[in-house]
Structure 1
Amino acid sequence: MISCVFPSRIDGGRTPARTRNRIACLPLALASAFGGLVLIQLPSAAHAQQAQTLGETMVTANRTPQPLSDLVGDVSIVDRQAIERSGATGVADVLARLPGIEISRSGGVGNATSVFIRGAETRFTAVYVDGVRIDSQTTGGAGWEGIPLAQIDRIEVLRGPAAAVYGSDAIGGVIQLFTRRGEEGVSPYAGIGFGSHGLRKIEGGVSGKSGLFDYSFGVAHEESKGFNVQPANKRTPSKDGFTSPDRDGYRSTSGNLKLGFQINPDQRIEATLLQSNVEAGYDASVSFRTRPPIRFRNDTSTNTLRTAGLTWSAKWNDIYSTRVQVTDSQSTYKTQPSFYRTETNLRGYLFQNEFRFGPHLVTATLERREDALENAPTTSAKLFSQDRSQNALSLGYGFVQGPHSLQLHVRRDKDSEFGGKTTGSAAYGFAITPSLRFTASAGTAFRVPTLYQRFSEYGRASLKPESSRNVELGLQYTQGATHAGLVVYRSRVQNLIVFDGSATGCQSSFGCYASTARARYQGVTLTGGHRIGDVTLRASLDYQDPRDLATDHLLARRAQRHATLGADWRVGGWTLGAEVQSSSKRYDDLANTVKLGGYTLLNLSASTQITRDINLVARLDNAGDKDYQYARLYATGGRTAYLGLKWTPQ
């Protein structure tokens, strides 16, 4: 039997899975896929627009709560109401409806998933759950398929580099996910949902606040029979051995707990816990040309995510406040019966100081991060284990007065392996008129190689940190029921890490990682919306050019143009929605020889309060049953329907 070794995720998240004979199949290593898209978003690419829509919304893009109207940055916010109305089953599906974001998924929900902000690699996005950093120390990036959407109450997305605030990884942006927080009284909830491909969802929980103590607890379970992600057709002929006729479903169980205690009006302690376990069937992208053709086994992947955090916030006087935080996360990925297992553990310590003097805000933060990786490529191979640490000092300055907003940040990171790295950013906003605001920013960012990229048999100890320089300009307009936004950006990345199958001097004959590539991410994002009576219109258009500068080729699986156009209509107690999503062609490979066609999808939705306490959500995605692919060899789910009921006593 001939077996193949391949990285099962492109741009981050999973390491190469090995079978017995260790013969490489590099072309097939690049065959991970784009996933489904299922959300009516809360539109908000421009902070001025969001401030109007959401009032004095507080965001934490700079790790300090501040009004959205004071922030100089390209930010989107999705709240619980928008998440529930979407009927989405994955966090990535929610993000895919936001401006500047695309996703990739090798099959259905539960399979390997990547998120690209402005075309940047998935590992270039720093991801936090209740302030707890999650990441993979294999090829890098958060394991999106393991994050339970049922436990998420709010999402904040910052597009653009933020390493001067968050350190390594925040080259493309930062995504923060927050679970529910208890409010006054007792608020139980319960929900059920049913959908195509045998989808079933059930959730329940309770939150509340009594005196100085607040709490929130939630559990959820969902499962789906799925669909055959690699059916036999002209794209995946069965004679090539790519097909496995089984349905590739998934099963997800998750829970979270958040406890808070208000010591006094100026001091608070908060503890958070979250756990998720996702089991999903998949078809490995490996070709066997034998006679008779060899059928695949029913492989199953398991993603387990655990996060924990403890935070003490104190306001000592009108000028000085502090925040002390200890966090821990564990991300585990394994496959059966073709055994593979990798586990990443991250421990974080944060001591943040804030000084407020009128319109001035000064921050000084000490931070330590500890990364550890354990990797078991087969049951018989030697366990690979490695760790490292990073210590950092960051300083920030903010000024808001009249039409002017200024933000300056500088950070010094010292890595236990690479030594010191300094990053900085500057952003300025000016209100030309009460309705029109101009913004400009520039920043540098970096990401150190993962432990797997350096020390595995596919690694190279001489890898250098990836580094970037970014500039962007923006205009935001808000007048009454009309809003519009324009952002122009350009980012260059040096020492881009790629897998080089032709490299020499590697431990593996398959090749190894190299930090010799250069990339440029540039583009324009347009957003807009208008309300006419009971009808709300919204739209976004992205034109981007994520390009490998060494070859002048487009980066794989990223479209140059993608757009959404949507409308919501409130009528007779119902909210009816329609959305068109369109994307141009993209290439399946780095050489730009395998073209994937563009597509246009129509999504429909409806929601209403059946009774005072029960809400109904119905959704039909890809109503035209468009046959399309996000990657060669992988199918999408076709037309899908969802119906959900949720009980939230008033």
Structure 2
Amino acid sequence: MLNKSTLGVAIAAALSFSVSAEQSIEHLTVTANKFEQSITDVLASVTVIERSDIEKNNYRDLPSILSNIAGVDIVRNGGFGQNADVFVRGATAKYTLVLVDGVRVSDASSGSVSLTNIPVNSIERVEIVKGARAAIYGSDAVAGVINIITRQATNNTLSATLGTDSYENYQLAGGIVKDAVTFNYNLGYENTDGYDVTGKDPSQPVTKDHDDDGYTNKNIGFNLAYQTENAGVFSLLSQYSEGQGQYDNAWGNDAYDFENYTAKLGWKKSSAIYTQSASVSISQEENIQTGTEEQQVYSTNRVEFEYSGLYTLTNTVDITGGVNFLNEDLSDSSAKSSEEQRDNTALFVGVFYDDDTWLGNAVVRTDDYDFHGRANTYTTALGYRANKYVTLRLSHGTAFRAPSLINAFVTDSQWYAPNSDIKPEESVNNEFGVTIDTQWGRYDIAIFDNKIDNLITNEYDADTGKWVATNIDKVSMQGIELSAEFEGFGFQHNVNLSLLDAKDETTNTDLPRRPSEMFNYTLGKSWGDFDVNLVMQYRSSRPSIYDRELAAYTVFNLSANYQVMDDLSFQARVENITDKDYFTAGIGFAANGELLGYNAAGRQFFVGASYQF
């Protein structure tokens, strides 16, 4: 259950600090509904991480960027290059749609996303939209959407960072604007020897897993745009990364090679009352498990086309709509199925209303996935601006996640049998929120309720002796999120508290790995050309998958920047200042009954320099 006393204390603290704030929070433009809106007009919980935030905190990977957001928890299986699952409002990674410039980047078999392999130097900003968004984005947008917009650097900047475990990172980014052409580029190299990511039983003999687990990432990307006088804007965006990572596995492969890319050709044209856009994109998410003679390949290739339009009907009403076609191809994967490709055709239409006092929107979408039938989803929202400071919002929506081809058509598997009758997972989401946006700061309260039905679970079939994907489970996730951004007592404050009650409705038990309480607090201070940010992260205890509780923990991270001159700056970051020993996921038990897990990195130091030219 949610702790009401904790909630009361948090609200009181936020309100007491607000009277000392000194300046308003900047209004941001976001693309939560696939067209540009002020963040104050979006009737959903939205967080935006700008490039300036990334550089101010000297983040080294994408999971670190996401870990400070209300309602978002990261479950790491070690450090750089290791698997890191994002839990949005208690829902596992496969229920959050991750996009790079609007292009899907998940593995279509498992639904997972290699967050650690998306290089930070390629990121301009990250938009996180929580709640059911399938009516706008389609399958997988059950708990929310994370859209990563790639670099749009204007100054040429060369950066180098060194750190713990022989960490090294070199980046080059910049841009050129000449007449109607804009070109931005980024490239980087990252390497570390890593550390031993799993806990070891001291009573057992030393094996090949008693080693450091290193990581390498090489990446390059560009954004090209051409502005015509009458035909609109044409764009070409592409990102590519490849590398290697090591991990612990006593029974097989213990390393992987990856090669991921996205490319998108786009067009957009606007008039006084109508904006239309079209795009075609290709992407690959490929991971090859190595370390033994028998390698496993996980490969997803996608081709996607979309056309959409936004029509201003009146001063208060906008109408949007479009068509989307998606092809997913798993034929390059080791796991084989009788069907290795599928298409999805989707249509969507929406109405958005805003008369400066009342806001409302309704979006409906229909998706027709090969083999799985049609999925119809919708989202509705109503907002009320009580005055120029306070906005109330109420939303209700549905979402779905399509089964994988492996679930339905796996062949030649020693462990799994197909289920051609498998159905999409479905969800219903409700949210109530209040946003207070004043000259003293920005505050937000969100209360949400998300239920997922027809969950796909592997059930043992005694007749075949294999596991079969089956729609049987139900889960529910309710919670409260409190967020505040303000200035007070000469410092910048960014604080959020999340309270979560996540249940398996089938067994009436708490879902594992979900902390019921999360607290993030960033305290920032600038002295001229020097700035410092101190971050505190608290996670309460939570059950593990091994019927044993994972202990609560608190970690502190520190970042600092010094602008020596206009074109030269120095950066530093210390992670886990107190060298806290903790883990967020278990792996089994030692002989004495102690729970073993994936080790979090201990205290780590990073120092760097950036030069603009």
Is TM more than 0.5 here?
yes
Aligned residue for 1:602? 556
Pick from 309, 325, 328: which aligns with 1:353?
309
Distance 1:231 1:70 in 2: 47
TM-score by length of 2: 0.90
Pick from 220, 223, 239: which aligns with 1:255?
220
1:319 maps onto 2:273 in alignment:
yes
Aligned residue for 1:449? 403
Distance 1:426 1:625 in 2: 46
SS of the aligned residue for 2:331 comes to: strand
1:374 Cα offset (Å): 2.8
Distance 1:320 1:479 in 2: 32
1:479 maps onto 2:479 in alignment:
no
Distance 1:354 1:63 in 2: 10
Pick from 452, 456, 468: which aligns with 1:493?
452
RMSD: 2.1
The one-letter code of the counterpart of 2:542 is R
Pick from 278, 288, 295: which aligns with 2:243?
278
1:513 maps onto 2:484 in alignment:
no
Distance 1:418 1:576 in 2: 52
Do the aligned partners of 2:400 and 2:424 also contact (CA within 8 Å) in 1? yes
The one-letter code of the counterpart of 2:521 is L
1:639 Cα offset (Å): 0.8
The one-letter code of the counterpart of 1:369 is L
Aligned residue for 2:427? 468
Indicate how the Cα distance of structure 1 residues 382 and 419 shifts in structure 2: closer, same or farther if over 3 A, else same. Answer: closer
SS of the aligned residue for 1:83 comes to: helix
Do the aligned partners of 1:139 and 1:453 also contact (CA within 8 Å) in 2? no
1:149 maps onto 2:103 in alignment:
no
1:572 Cα offset (Å): 4.4
1:647 maps onto 2:592 in alignment:
no
Distance 2:187 2:203 in 1: 41
Distance 1:387 1:244 in 2: 37
Do the aligned partners of 2:475 and 2:503 also contact (CA within 8 Å) in 1? yes
1:561 maps onto 2:561 in alignment:
no
Deviations 1:471-517 (A, max 9, x none): 010011122223321100001111111233x34455xx452322211
Distance 2:603 2:339 in 1: 44
The one-letter code of the counterpart of 2:51 is R
1:382 Cα offset (Å): 6.7
Counterparts of residues 183-198 of structure 1 (less than 5 Å): 187-198=155-166
Runs of 5+ unmatched residues, structure 1: 1-48, 287-295
1:143 Cα offset (Å): 2.3
The one-letter code of the counterpart of 2:326 is R
Distance 1:505 1:217 in 2: 57
Indicate how the Cα distance of structure 1 residues 261 and 562 shifts in structure 2: closer, same or farther if over 3 A, else same. Answer: same
Pick from 182, 196, 206: which aligns with 2:174?
206
- The list of structure 1 runs, each at least 4 consecutive aligned residues, that deviate by more than 6 angstroms after superposition, is 240-243, 381-385
Deviations 1:152-202 (A, max 9, x none): 11110000010011111100101111112365xxx2111000111111000
Counterparts of residues 481-630 of structure 1 (less than 5 Å): 481-500=440-459, 502-505=460-463, 509=465, 511-532=467-488, 534-589=490-545, 593-630=547-584
Deviations 1:568-619 (A, max 9, x none): 0112431122121100112220xx6121101011222211201111222211
Distance 1:158 1:336 in 2: 36
Do the aligned partners of 1:376 and 1:384 also contact (CA within 8 Å) in 2? no
1:124 maps onto 2:62 in alignment:
no
1:373 Cα offset (Å): 0.7
Indicate how the Cα distance of structure 1 residues 382 and 61 shifts in structure 2: closer, same or farther if over 3 A, else same. Answer: closer
Do the aligned partners of 1:343 and 1:375 also contact (CA within 8 Å) in 2? yes
Pick from 240, 263, 272: which aligns with 1:308?
263
SS of the aligned residue for 1:273 comes to: strand
Aligned residue for 1:71? 42
Do the aligned partners of 2:336 and 2:406 also contact (CA within 8 Å) in 1? no
Deviations 1:449-482 (A, max 9, x none): 1112222232422211000001010011122223
Counterparts of residues 7-46 of structure 1 (less than 5 Å): none
Indicate how the Cα distance of structure 1 residues 481 and 382 shifts in structure 2: closer, same or farther if over 3 A, else same. Answer: closer
SS of the aligned residue for 1:153 comes to: strand
The one-letter code of the counterpart of 1:250 is Y
1:525 Cα offset (Å): 0.4
The one-letter code of the counterpart of 2:132 is P
Aligned residue for 2:233? 268
Distance 1:176 1:550 in 2: 32
Distance 2:396 2:421 in 1: 29
Do the aligned partners of 2:25 and 2:439 also contact (CA within 8 Å) in 1? no
Aligned residue for 1:7? none
Do the aligned partners of 1:362 and 1:395 also contact (CA within 8 Å) in 2? yes
Distance 1:384 1:251 in 2: 35
SS of the aligned residue for 2:54 comes to: helix
Indicate how the Cα distance of structure 1 residues 259 and 229 shifts in structure 2: closer, same or farther if over 3 A, else same. Answer: same
The one-letter code of the counterpart of 1:481 is W
Distance 2:183 2:256 in 1: 33
Distance 1:101 1:405 in 2: 27
SS of the aligned residue for 2:382 comes to: strand
Distance 2:215 2:432 in 1: 42
Greater alpha carbon shift after TM alignment, 450-459 vs 424-433: 450-459
1:211 Cα offset (Å): 0.4
1:217 Cα offset (Å): 1.3
Distance 1:558 1:278 in 2: 31
Deviations 1:124-158 (A, max 9, x none): 11111112122211111322232222111111000
Matched length: 574
1:243 Cα offset (Å): 7.0
Pick from 83, 88, 93: which aligns with 1:112?
83
Greater alpha carbon shift after TM alignment, 605-614 vs 241-250: 241-250
Do the aligned partners of 1:602 and 1:621 also contact (CA within 8 Å) in 2? yes
Distance 1:505 1:150 in 2: 52
Aligned residue for 2:190? 222
The one-letter code of the counterpart of 1:364 is G
Greater alpha carbon shift after TM alignment, 449-458 vs 63-72: 449-458
Aligned residue for 1:290? none
Do the aligned partners of 1:372 and 1:385 also contact (CA within 8 Å) in 2? no
Indicate how the Cα distance of structure 1 residues 88 and 384 shifts in structure 2: closer, same or farther if over 3 A, else same. Answer: farther
Indicate how the Cα distance of structure 1 residues 221 and 416 shifts in structure 2: closer, same or farther if over 3 A, else same. Answer: same
Distance 1:77 1:630 in 2: 25
1:404 maps onto 2:369 in alignment:
no
Distance 2:248 2:235 in 1: 42
Do the aligned partners of 1:485 and 1:528 also contact (CA within 8 Å) in 2? yes
SS of the aligned residue for 1:374 comes to: coil
Distance 1:639 1:223 in 2: 18
Distance 1:320 1:281 in 2: 51
Distance 1:512 1:240 in 2: 36
Indicate how the Cα distance of structure 1 residues 261 and 202 shifts in structure 2: closer, same or farther if over 3 A, else same. Answer: same
The one-letter code of the counterpart of 1:428 is L
Do the aligned partners of 1:258 and 1:272 also contact (CA within 8 Å) in 2? yes
SS of the aligned residue for 2:582 comes to: coil
1:545 Cα offset (Å): 1.5
SS of the aligned residue for 1:454 comes to: helix
